[in-house]
Every structure is written in structure tokens, then in C-alpha cells.
């Protein structure tokens, strides 16, 4: 229980010292935990840390709808922190208005989420544990490895169960486009289930391919148990391999996908290795 | 700016998912799933995610209105209540108590329904109270309580995981009970064989191990053939039949006429397939049956449910953790509305009104003389409007769209001397009212809903009703007092306590015990933990009863003039008469107009293309709708959802009633389809 007490002490202090105007976390004031914005130190005794709850999108909406000087703290896990960083990088959230109270997950939780990085940048709460390699896990393997045709069949069988609840989109902490492509008649046919495998699920997956922080919110929200997060693994791995890039880990570095052809690859991390005809040389 | 999240229960189907409503400045802005909810476990369907969208809709009724001439004019509450009480009393005095009737609501809480039926029974000395359960699981209640002793789903939703076989009859759960579908898939993934019986190739059917695409209405031949095969091959549960059931000999006799060959011909599938399915079900260690409107909405609906009970008892598949019979209830609180007595033949807790001991018990509890004559059903109340029934009180029901043969309803309602409709929107039915009372929606009240697995769950009030609207509990209390009843309740918890006193199955249920997981009845005492599955060791009625299911094919078979069989039902983004979902922009965006599904070959033969405007007609009426060509339909069958008031499928349906439960045959009538 000490980790909960630590969390309460930290949040209480931040509120008492008026460093923050509110802290978003879980409160069990009424029996079961629900999200809550703690605004006074007295309320903090009801703060709890379980179950896993993703706050990034909520935090974004709270900051957007509160006065310009309102600063919000968020008690969150590694994945949620990475989601917040992605929202900041995409100009959805002002980093000066938030403060993260980071919490490391246990090994069991990491295993349940197939999480490669079950801790925030600075774990204020809990102990950092080793992450999980999804490719080591038996059920995940079946979706990630083997012959293309087998994987295709496996995914088809799963996605044929889709009931088009939009839960994967709604629960994703960084799925924030307005208007949403999934509500665009050009892409997704209305009024029929299952939602189209290519135009709904793959558009959603690719739309998030360089932003996905592998929090597993989509998988958790799926009523029919489609392991949607696994759709992202290949792309995440390839970004890590080709560009040493992982979404949400470095606030200063934009996604390689965002760079344009003129300054390729993105200038924030490397000068192009070939002569750049658009760059006016000082020497001429 | 204070943001709040309040846990409550979804207002749509009978699954009863928990959800969180996010409130800012007295407005509900978002819905989120409830991660700790025992049924939903942090998931929601499309309707659940959009559950907040209709709450603050500008069409909400905000004040009582009285019709003067053809125009509704606002009147104060005290006048409205006074007028209603006077009119109902006058009617009862002039024409006798049975001239008054009430339609209660499966959308309202248990407490609202209890007060409603008590108001009708104790206030007027009549049992003319019913609700839309008549139009969905009336046959289930009738047949299962006769055969097993209880009309409710025998098991819990989580019990699908662990079964060896799950057999679904006439249930498109992927669209109508999506969260339950998730549990069924989980059961399948963990080893259950999933068998689906449906004339439509629904998503559920496509994802099943076996799909039997039978002719509409041929369930009894199918089950008869299965049972015959099981007996012929000695696969029946002999011990179970001997120890726990009675009248088996009569069933055996009945099965003589259902050879596998005759049965398979009747339902249009191969004899081998029928045999295979019979063997899988009979040989399963534990097996669950799921059924829904495809079984009940027939003129032989009650017999269909008897057939299902027979099949389950024949194989001993009832009364254990993963074996049972699961009718999936449609409305969020249709289970509860039945439990608390919003039915013409029973008091709360299914205690018969014709039983003088019960009558005496309730007369003492309520301090008023009661009638021992069972009342009229929904369909009877509507059709005797202006003759038997003179004054009608409708709480949150929309029979104009939900009842069969709409033209008949339109002709009947104006014949009433006095019609009161209490609702949140001016529904198609409310337009016919003399007096309209503005009620409250799920987010505006405290109380309980009971889901399909008998779980009584607490609702929390999130916001106030709009304008001058009041919550239904308050309205019923005001009207009750105006009628001289002891309706001095301070809150719904008190109503629950009174219900517990008179209702043995809920005797141990009190608000302070419900917490966030609720309680599953039977819960007969304050220290009873509730019941996960029924009929363990012994049936509620003692011995399980085999009742011979008399088979009647659909009343109207296709012919030269009307070559199709029309099936009506629901689709995933809308709910029932669309009052709420069609006012939710996200749901209405998904499907914003009526359609009819037709097989590609049939469409070809009739020169119809996808998206064509078509005229869909039956002997009752005709509507203009849009063709949707899909291989989901078998040749000869077409499907139309009933959510759309501009093209109401129930203008077409037949009023043929099941003789026992009085359910109309919504699932089969002869129809024609031509391009407009």
C-alpha cells in the first residue's frame, strides 16, 4: 500500500504548495474508482492507482476547457505519459500546463499489456521493471509470426467479429483528428458490420502507426476481444530499427513520418548525408 | 469548472453495462466505459458510447401539456395531476374499474414500475397493466415459468465461458447484445462449439462453427427433429429425465411425428446437418442455449420456447454453471418491469393475481381492495380502446411504432376518452395524448434496473431533468397521492424496501446492498449473496415439465401476390422505436434512413438494384423504403428494421397473436417488394 500513500503525499504537497490547480487521477470516493480532478489537498485521501486507466485524452480536454492559467497534474503510467508527449508534439496540448506524476507498472501488469516499456521517464512511484517482448508471448506470436496467409486468416477471423462500436478509436489516447477519417464516407461504409477490415481497421492502424505508444487501450476497449494493439507492433518495430524512433519517448524529436522530402531525414536528429541543393552554401 | 464522473447503467439493451457519464457544468458531455463493471468490463457498444447524446436534446419535453383542440398548451403540474386523477376516477366510476388501463415501461426503473402497477391495481381495482415485454419475451415468461418455474435467464453472462456448446436460436447478438456476444466468442475461443440457427446469415452466423439457415418459423420442426434423433440414438440424459422431470412420455409421443427427414424438409436444411447438430448439443458436457426474438415473435412463440426447454431437459443441459437456457432480454429493464409486476396476471415476484392467498396478501400490504381477474395485455388494451378501455395511462412506451399493424393502433387511440402519455420526447404515441407529462431519462433518476441475467443494479442521478420535467418517481407519487393512495415515499430506496417485503425473490435486496456489482435474484434474505444460476439440483417448480409444443407454421405464407416472407428486427446503431437513438447524431449518422434487406438473386428477379427506392407492402399497408442487397438474406426472405417512423415496419406486420402469451407474429408475414 505504500505506493498509494506515496502518491497521496506527492499530490497533496503539489496542491498545498499551489504548484498545480488540479490533479487528474482515480478516486474511490464513491465505492469504486472513477477519474477525478483533485483540487484540494483534503480530497486526496481517496486517490487510488488501480485499475489501469488512460488519462491523456481526458487531460487534453480538461486543459482545453479550463482557464489559461490552470495547471493540471496527471498521475499516470509510462504509456499514458508517452501519449501526453505525443499530444504535445502534435500541438494538441501545451506542455507548460501539465505535470506528470509518473508511476511504474509491475511485471504482471507489463505482461498483461505486452508492454515493452512499463515505466515513465521518471518513476515517482513504484519500481522500474523489465518490459516484455511481445514476440516472446505465445498468443501474440500467432498474430505476428508465421506465413503471411496464416496471419491473414488469423486476423480475418478476429476482425470479422468487429461490431463497429468505435471503442478502439474512442479509447485511444492519441486518436484525436477532427473530423475523423472513420466518419468519412470516402473510406468507411456506414451502417454495416463488421466494419471493413481494410478501410476501417487498417486506416485506423496506419493513421496511428508513428504515434502509437502501445498502451493497449484499443485492445482493452474491444468488446469482442480483437487484439488490436498487435496491429501496431510491426510498424513500431520498424521505426525503432530503421530510425531508432519510439513514439512518446523523446519530446524533442518529431516522427520521421512528419519530415518532408526537402529536409529528409528530419533535421532535428541528423543532417542529411548527401548534398542538399536547396541549402545555400556560405562558401559560394 | 468542476468535472465529475458518475457511474450508472446504460439505458439501451438488457445487457446492463456499467458506464461513466462525464458531467461538466450540469451537462453530460461524454460517456466512458466502466472498467470495474462485472458485465461490461470496460467495454461498450456503439450505443453505449453514445448514451449521453440524447439527454440534452432540444426536443426534450419540459412542461406538462394539455391538448386543446389540436394544439398542446402548457399547464401547471398541479392542474395536470389533478386533471389526470379526476379523469381516471370518473372513468372508473362511470364504466367500472376495468375501463382504466396502464402501459408501464421497460425503460423505467424497478421502483417506477412497482409504483405504476400498484397505482393501477390499488388505485382502480383492475389488473389492466402491461408493458412491452408482451412484444418480446412474453412467450418466454409463459413457457419457462410453466416448464421450469421461472421465466428468467437461468445462468449468468460470464457462464458462456466454460460451456462445450453454445446454441443460439434467433438471436443476432452481435447487433442487439454486443457485449454478451463478446462473452459468447470468448466461450467459443475456449472450446465451445458455436451453433447458430437463423434464417438470416447474420454476423453471428458467419462467425459460428455451424449455421443452420432455416425457413422463418420452422423452429419446432428443427428442435423436434433434433430431439427425435437424440432419442433414436439414445443420447438423452436418462438419469436427469427420471430424477428431475415429468411428463416425458407425452414428449416421446409427440416426437413420433417428427422424423429427421420430415423435420429437415420442413426447415429447409439437410438431414445430416440436423443430425450433426443434435449430436453436438446432446454430447456436450455442458451446453448453453441462447434465444431471442427469432423464437418468441411468432404466433407459436410460446410453443417454440417449450420446445427449447424440452431440448435442454432432454439432454440434462440446465441447472449447472455452464448449462442453461438464456433468453436475452431486449430492454434495459424489461426483466425488472416483469419482476416487479408490470404484467396483467401477476403481482410483483410473479405471484398470481388469481390466487386468493396472494390477493389477500397484497390487499393487506397495500390497504386497498384488489381484483382477482387477470387484466388485459398490451395488444388487447390497444384493440379494445374506446370499447372496453376508456382511459389509458402510458408511461414511456411508444406502441404506435412498436405494436403490430400500425393503422389499427392509429384508429384505436383516438377512440379513448382520455389518454395520458408520460415520456421524455413527444413520441408518435404522445401526439395522440390528451395530456402529456414530461418525465426523466436514465441520467436524471435514482433507482434500479435489472439486466437479463437478473442482476439488480443501481442507477445514479447525474443531472436534473430539463425545465419543469420531473423524474417519474415524483410524478407517480404525485398522481398516487391525488388518487388517495399512500404514496408518501421520500425516495426510491423506500420503494425498494417495500418491494422486498412483498416479493420473496427480492426479499434481501436493498439499495445499501447493491454497491457497484448489484445483486442477482433470487435473493431471498438480507444475508443472501444472490444467485448466479437457477435450478441447481431442483427446478424452481420442483420437477421440470415437458410440455408438448403444438406447431403452427406462420399464419401468412408467401403467395403469388406477396411472394416474400418479411422479418422485422433491430440493427446495431438504433434501438427500438428510435426515440433516443435517432436523436443521437453519432448513431443516426451510421444509419439515417429505413431500409429493407433482400437477397441478390431475388433483387435481380425483381429488377431491384442496391439503393433503389422500393415499395414494401403487405395486406396491412405499405411503406416506401430503400433496398439493400445482401447475401445475408436467404432467397424468399426479406428483412426490415422497425426503428424508422417515416417508414414504419410495423405498418406492415400482422396482428396474429400467440394464443397463450398474446405476442404478435413480428417475424413472419407475406410481403411484396416493387421498385418505385
Pair B99, B390: CB distance under 8 Å: yes
Helices (H), B36-76: 46-49
3-class secondary structure, A163: coil
A28-38 burial: b if 16+ Cβ within 10 Å, else e: eeeebbbbbbb
Q: Which residues contact B525 (CB under 8 A, 6 or more apart)?
A: B507, B508
| Segment A126-164, tens digit of pLDDT | 999 999 998 888 888 889 988 989 999 999 999 999 999
Q: Judging by DSSP bridges, how do beta strands B435-438 and B65-68 pair with one another? A: antiparallel
Q: Judging by DSSP bridges, how do beta strands B418-423 and B435-438 pair with one another? A: parallel
Residue B531 has pLDDT above 70, yes or no: yes
Pair A28, A20: CB distance under 8 Å: no
DSSP 8-class letter at A265: S
pTM over 0.80: yes
Peptide bond just before A51 cis, omega within 30 deg: yes
Pair A164, B572: CB distance under 8 Å: yes
B656 versus A284: the higher-pLDDT residue is B656
Virtual torsion, Cα B224, B195, B324, B19, nearest 10 deg: -140
List the one residue out of B279, B302, B305 whose CA is nearest residue B227: B279
Whether B33 and A167 lie within 8 Å, measured CB to CB: yes
Pair B334, B136: CB distance under 8 Å: yes
C-alpha grid cell, residue B140: 418466454
Report the residue of B10, B47, B53, B182 to disrupt the A interface, i.e. the one with the largest count of A CBs within 10 Å. Answer: B182
Note whether B138-328 and B564-675 share their fold: no
Pair B595, B628: CB distance under 8 Å: yes
Mean pLDDT, chain A, rounded, equals 88
C-alpha grid cell, residue B120: 393501477
Confidence of residue A270 (pLDDT cuts 50, 70, 90): low
List the one residue out of B159, B6, B301 whose CA is nearest residue A35: B6
Distance CA B226, CA B263 (A): 8
| Segment A84-93, tens digit of pLDDT | 999 999 999 9
ipTM beyond cut 0.95:
no
Confidence of residue B1 (pLDDT cuts 50, 70, 90): low
Does any CB of chain A come closer than 8 Å to the CB of residue B589? yes
Confidence of residue A257 (pLDDT cuts 50, 70, 90): confident
Give the orientation angle of helix B138-147 with respect to helix B301-314, to 10 degrees. Answer: 40
Contacts of A167 in chain B (CB under 8 A): 33, 43-44, 49
H or E element at residue A142: helix A138-144
Whether B181 and A224 lie within 8 Å, measured CB to CB: yes
Does any CB of chain B come closer than 8 Å to the CB of residue A127? no
Distance CA B203, CA B207 (A): 6
Tell me how far CA of residue A187 lies from CA of A180, A181, A196, B452, in angstroms. Answer: 10, 7, 9, 37
Indicate if the alpha-carbon torsion angle A181, A187, A191, A192 is positive or negative: negative
Min distance B603 CA to chain A CA atoms (Å): 19
C-alpha grid cell, residue B36: 470495474
Virtual torsion, Cα A269, A271, A272, A273, nearest 10 deg: -120
Does any CB of chain B come closer than 8 Å to the CB of residue A167? yes
Peptide bond just before A265 cis, omega within 30 deg: yes
Distance CA B497, CA B492 (A): 9
Q: Which residues are bridge partners to A76 per DSSP?
A: A102
Place of cell 508492454: A115
Report the residue of A25, A223, A228 to disrupt the B interface, i.e. the one with the largest count of B CBs within 10 Å. Answer: A223
The percent helix, strand, coil of chain B (3-state, each to 5) is 35, 20, 45
Contacts of A36 in chain B (CB under 8 A): 4-5
Q: Which residues contact B463 (CB under 8 A, 6 or more apart)?
A: B23, B26, B27, B28, B55, B443, B444
Distance CA A71, CA A96 (A): 8
Per-residue model confidence (pLDDT) at position A283: 46
C-alpha grid cell, residue B442: 436514465
Min distance A172 CA to chain B CA atoms (Å): 12
Whether B207 and A191 lie within 8 Å, measured CB to CB: no
Q: Which fold has domain B3-49?
A: N-terminal domain of TfIIb (2.20.25)
Q: What are phi and psi of A155, to 5 degrees?
A: -70, -40
Distance CA B155, CA B451 (A): 12
Confidence of residue A266 (pLDDT cuts 50, 70, 90): very low
**What class has domain B564-675?**
mainly beta
Q: Which among A163, A221, A224 is the nearest to B42, CB-wise?
A: A221
Distance CA B357, CA B346 (A): 13
Whether A224 and B185 lie within 8 Å, measured CB to CB: yes
Min distance A62 CA to chain B CA atoms (Å): 8
Q: Which CATH architecture has domain B138-328?
A: 3-Layer(aba) Sandwich (3.40)
Per-residue model confidence (pLDDT) at position A51: 92
Distance CA B16, CA B265 (A): 40
C-alpha grid cell, residue B543: 420437477
Percentage of residues in chain B having pLDDT higher than 90: 92
List the one residue out of B298, B314, B320, B143 whose CA is nearest residue B225: B314
Per-residue model confidence (pLDDT) at position B403: 87
Residue A272 has pLDDT above 80, yes or no: no
Q: Which among A65, A190, A222 is the nearest to B590, CB-wise?
A: A190
Distance CA B575, CA B71 (A): 29
Tell me how far CA of residue B334 lies from CA of B11, B109, B461, B476, in angstroms. Answer: 11, 9, 20, 19
Indicate if the alpha-carbon torsion angle B23, A61, A10, A8 is positive or negative: positive
Instruction: Say how many C-beta atoms besides its own lie within 10 A of residue B253's C-beta.
Output: 10
List the one residue out of B636, B448, B440, B462 whose CA is nearest residue B4: B462
Min distance B600 CA to chain A CA atoms (Å): 17
Over range B445-473, report the average pLDDT: 96
Tell me how far CA of residue B363 lies from CA of B120, B484, B521, in angstroms. Answer: 13, 15, 25
List the one residue out of B666, B656, B662 whose CA is nearest residue B570: B666
Instruction: Say how many C-beta atoms besides its own lie within 10 A of residue A227's C-beta.
Output: 21
DSSP 8-class letter at B369: -
Over range B307-329, report the average pLDDT: 96
Min distance A34 CA to chain B CA atoms (Å): 6
DSSP 8-class letter at A217: H
Mean pLDDT, chain B, rounded, equals 95
Asked: is B65-134+332-441+465-487 a CATH 3.40.50.740 domain? The reply is yes
Distance CA A283, CA B667 (A): 84
Whether A34 and B48 lie within 8 Å, measured CB to CB: no
List the one residue out of B298, B288, B363 whose CA is nearest residue B327: B288
| Segment B625-653, tens digit of pLDDT | 999 999 999 999 999 999 999 999 988 99
Residue B229 has pLDDT above 80, yes or no: yes
Segments making up each domain of chain B, as ranges? 3-49, 65-134+332-441+465-487, 138-328, 564-675
H or E element at residue B476: helix B472-482
Q: Can you spell out the DSSP letters for B176-213?
A: HSHHHHHHHHHHHHTTPEEEEE-SB--HHHHTSSEEE-
Whether A160 and B207 lie within 8 Å, measured CB to CB: yes
Q: What are phi and psi of B114, to 5 degrees?
A: -60, -50
- What is the separation of C-alpha B135 from the centre of its chain, rounded to a whole number of angstroms? 7
| Segment A10-51, tens digit of pLDDT | 999 999 999 999 999 999 987 789 999 999 999 999 999 999
Distance CA B241, CA B226 (A): 17
Does any CB of chain A come closer than 8 Å to the CB of residue B206? yes
Contacts of B207 in chain A (CB under 8 A): 157, 160-161
Percentage of residues in chain B having pLDDT higher than 70: 100
Residue B221 has pLDDT above 90, yes or no: yes
B447 versus A235: the higher-pLDDT residue is B447
Tell me how far CA of residue B226 lies from CA of A258, B170, B200, B264, B278, in angstroms. Answer: 62, 17, 20, 9, 5
Peptide bond just before A194 cis, omega within 30 deg: yes
Q: Which among A171, A193, A220 is the nearest to B175, CB-wise?
A: A193
| Segment B185-209, tens digit of pLDDT | 999 999 999 999 999 999 999 999 9
Per-residue model confidence (pLDDT) at position A260: 59
Residue numbers of B between 17 and 76 with CB closer than 8 Å to A: 20, 24, 32-36, 40, 42-46, 48-49
Pair B177, B13: CB distance under 8 Å: yes
Over range A260-267, report the average pLDDT: 52
Over range B360-383, report the average pLDDT: 95
List the one residue out of B196, B144, B192 whose CA is nearest residue B174: B196
Place of cell 519530446: A251
Distance CA B224, CA B263 (A): 7
Confidence of residue A284 (pLDDT cuts 50, 70, 90): very low
Amino acid at each position: 500500500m505504500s505506493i498509494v500513500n506515496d502518491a497521496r503525499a506527492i499530490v497533496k504537497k503539489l496542491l498545498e504548495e499551489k504548484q498545480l490547480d488540479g490533479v487528474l487521477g482515480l478516486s474511490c470516493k464513491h465505492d469504486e474508482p472513477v477519474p477525478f480532478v483533485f483540487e484540494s489537498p483534503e480530497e486526496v485521501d481517496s486517490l487510488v492507482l488501480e485499475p489501469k486507466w488512460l488519462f491523456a485524452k481526458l487531460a487534453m480536454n480538461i486543459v482545453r476547457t479550463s482557464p489559461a492559467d490552470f495547471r493540471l497534474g496527471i498521475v499516470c503510467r509510462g504509456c499514458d505519459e508517452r501519449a501526453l508527449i505525443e499530444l504535445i508534439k502534435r500541438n494538441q496540448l501545451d506542455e507548460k500546463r501539465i505535470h506528470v506524476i509518473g508511476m511504474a507498472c509491475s511485471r504482471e501488469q507489463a505482461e498483461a499489456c505486452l508492454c515493452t516499456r512499463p515505466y515513465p521517464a521518471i518513476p515517482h512511484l513504484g519500481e522500474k521493471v523489465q518490459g516484455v517482448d511481445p514476440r516472446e508471448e505465445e498468443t501474440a506470436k500467432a498474430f505476428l509470426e508465421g506465413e503471411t496467409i496464416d496471419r491473414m486468416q488469423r486476423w480475418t477471423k478476429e476482425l470479422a467479429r468487429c461490431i463497429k462500436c468505435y471503442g478502439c478509436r474512442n479509447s485511444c489516447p492519441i486518436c484525436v483528428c477532427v473530423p475523423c477519417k472513420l466518419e468519412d464516407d470516402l473510406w468507411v461504409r456506414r451502417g454495416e458490420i463488421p466494419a471493413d477490415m481494410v478501410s476501417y481497421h487498417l486506416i485506423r492502424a496506419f493513421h496511428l502507426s508513428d504515434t502509437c505508444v502501445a498502451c493497449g487501450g484499443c485492445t482493452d476497449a474491444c468488446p469482442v476481444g480483437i487484439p488490436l494493439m498487435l496491429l501496431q507492433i510491426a510498424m513500431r518495430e520498424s521505426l525503432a530499427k530503421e530510425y531508432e524512433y519510439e513514439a512518446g519517448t523523446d519530446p524533442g524529436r518529431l516522427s520521421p513520418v512528419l519530415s518532408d522530402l526537402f529536409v529528409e531525414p528530419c533535421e532535428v536528429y541528423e543532417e542529411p548525408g548527401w548534398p542538399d541543393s536547396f541549402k545555400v552554401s556560405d562558401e559560394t | 469548472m468542476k468535472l465529475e464522473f458518475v457511474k450508472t447503467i446504460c439505458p439501451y439493451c438488457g445487457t446492463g453495462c456499467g458506464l461513466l457519464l462525464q458531467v461538466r457544468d450540469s451537462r453530460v458531455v461524454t460517456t466512458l466505459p466502466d472498467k470495474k463493471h462485472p458485465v461490461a468490463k470496460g467495454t461498450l457498444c456503439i450505443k453505449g458510447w453514445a448514451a449521453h447524446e440524447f439527454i440534452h436534446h432540444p426536443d426534450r419535453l419540459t412542461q406538462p401539456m394539455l391538448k386543446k383542440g389540436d394544439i398542446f398548451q402548457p399547464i401547471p403540474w398541479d392542474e395536470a395531476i389533478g386533471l389526470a386523477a379526476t379523469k381516471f376516477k370518473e372513468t372508473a366510476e362511470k364504466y367500472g374499474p376495468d375501463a382504466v388501463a396502464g402501459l408501464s415501461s421497460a425503460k423505467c426503473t424497478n421502483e417506477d414500475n412497482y409504483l405504476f402497477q400498484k397505482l393501477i391495481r390499488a388505485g382502480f381495482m383492475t389488473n389492466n397493466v402491461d408493458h412491452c415485454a408482451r412484444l418480446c419475451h412474453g412467450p418466454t415468461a409463459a413457457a419457462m415459468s410453466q416448464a421450469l418455474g421461472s421465466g428468467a435467464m437461468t445462468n449468468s453472462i460470464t457462464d458462456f465461458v466454460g460451456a462445450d456448446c453454445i446454441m443460439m436460436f434467433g438471436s443476432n447478438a452481435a447487433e442487439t447484445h454486443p457485449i454478451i456476444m463478446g462473452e459468447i466468442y470468448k466461450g467459443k475461443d475456449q472450446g465451445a462449439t458455436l451453433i447458430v440457427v437463423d434464417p438470416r446469415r447474420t454476423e453471428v452466423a458467419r462467425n459460428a462453427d455451424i449455421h443452420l439457415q432455416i425457413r422463418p418459423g420452422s423452429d419446432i420442426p428443427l428442435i423436434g427433429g433434433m430431439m427425435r434423433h437424440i432419442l433414436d440414438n439414445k443420447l438423452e440424459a436418462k438419469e436427469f429425465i427420471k430424477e428431475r422431470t415429468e411428463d416425458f412420455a407425452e414428449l416421446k409421443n409427440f416426437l413420433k411425428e417428427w422424423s429427421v427427414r420430415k423435420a429437415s424438409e420442413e426447415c429447409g436444411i439437410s438431414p445430416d446437418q440436423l443430425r450433426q447438430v443434435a449430436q453436438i448439443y446432446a454430447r456436450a458436457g455442458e451446453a448453453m442455449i441462447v434465444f431471442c426474438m427469432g423464437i418468441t415473435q411468432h404466433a407459436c412463440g410460446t410453443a417454440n420456447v417449450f420446445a427449447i426447454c424440452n431440448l435442454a431437459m432432454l439432454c440434462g443441459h440446465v441447472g449447472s454453471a455452464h448449462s442453461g437456457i438464456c433468453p436475452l432480454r431486449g430492454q434495459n429493464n424489461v426483466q425488472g418491469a416483469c419482476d416487479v409486476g408490470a404484467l396483467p396476471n401477476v403481482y410483483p415476484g410473479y405471484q398470481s393475481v388469481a390466487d386468493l392467498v396472494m390477493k389477500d396478501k397484497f390487499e393487506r400490504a397495500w390497504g386497498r381492495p384488489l381484483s382477482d381477474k387477470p387484466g388485459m395485455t398490451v395488444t388487447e388494451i390497444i384493440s379494445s380502446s374506446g370499447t372496453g378501455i376508456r382511459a389509458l395511462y402510458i408511461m414511456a412506451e411508444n406502441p404506435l411504432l412498436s405494436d403490430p399493424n400500425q393503422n389499427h393502433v392509429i384508429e384505436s387511440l383516438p377512440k379513448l376518452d382520455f389518454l395520458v402519455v408520460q415520456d421524455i420526447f413527444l413520441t408518435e404515441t404522445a401526439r395522440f395524448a390528451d395530456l402529456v407529462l414530461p418525465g426523466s431519462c436514465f441520467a436524471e433518476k435514482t433507482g434500479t434496473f435489472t439486466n437479463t441475467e437478473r442482476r439488480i443494479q443501481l442507477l445514479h442521478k447525474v443531472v436534473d431533468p430539463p425545465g419543469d420535467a420531473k423524474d417519474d418517481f415524483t410524478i407517480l407519487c404525485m398522481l398516487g397521492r391525488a388518487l388517495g393512495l399512500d404514496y408518501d415515499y421520500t425516495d426510491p430506496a423506500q420503494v425498494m424496501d417495500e418491494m422486498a417485503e412483498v416479493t420473496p425473490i427480492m426479499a434481501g435486496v436493498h439499495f445499501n446492498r447493491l454497491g457497484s456489482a448489484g445483486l442477482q435474484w433470487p435473493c431471498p434474505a438480507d444475508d443472501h449473496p444472490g444467485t448466479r444460476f437457477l435450478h441447481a439440483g431442483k427446478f424452481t417448480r420442483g420437477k421440470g415439465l415437458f410440455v408438448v409444443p403444438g406447431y403452427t407454421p406462420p399464419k401468412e405464407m408467401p403467395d403469388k401476390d406477396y411472394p416474400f416472407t418479411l422479418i422485422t428486427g433491430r440493427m446495431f446503431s438504433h434501438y427500438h422505436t428510435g426515440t433516443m437513438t435517432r436523436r443521437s447524431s453519432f448513431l443516426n449518422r451510421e444509419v439515417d434512413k429505413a431500409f429493407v434487406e433482400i437477397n441478390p438473386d431475388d433483387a435481380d428477379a425483381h429488377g431491384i438494384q442496391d439503393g433503389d427506392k422500393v415499395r414494401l407492402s403487405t395486406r396491412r399497408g405499405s411503406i416506401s423504403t430503400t433496398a439493400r442487397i445482401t447475401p445475408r438474406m436467404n432467397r424468399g426472405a426479406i428483412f426490415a428494421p422497425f426503428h424508422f417512423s417515416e417508414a414504419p415496419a410495423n405498418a406492415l406486420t400482422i396482428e396474429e397473436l400467440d394464443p397463450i402469451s398474446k405476442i404478435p407474429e413480428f417475424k413472419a408475414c407475406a410481403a411484396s417488394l416493387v421498385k418505385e
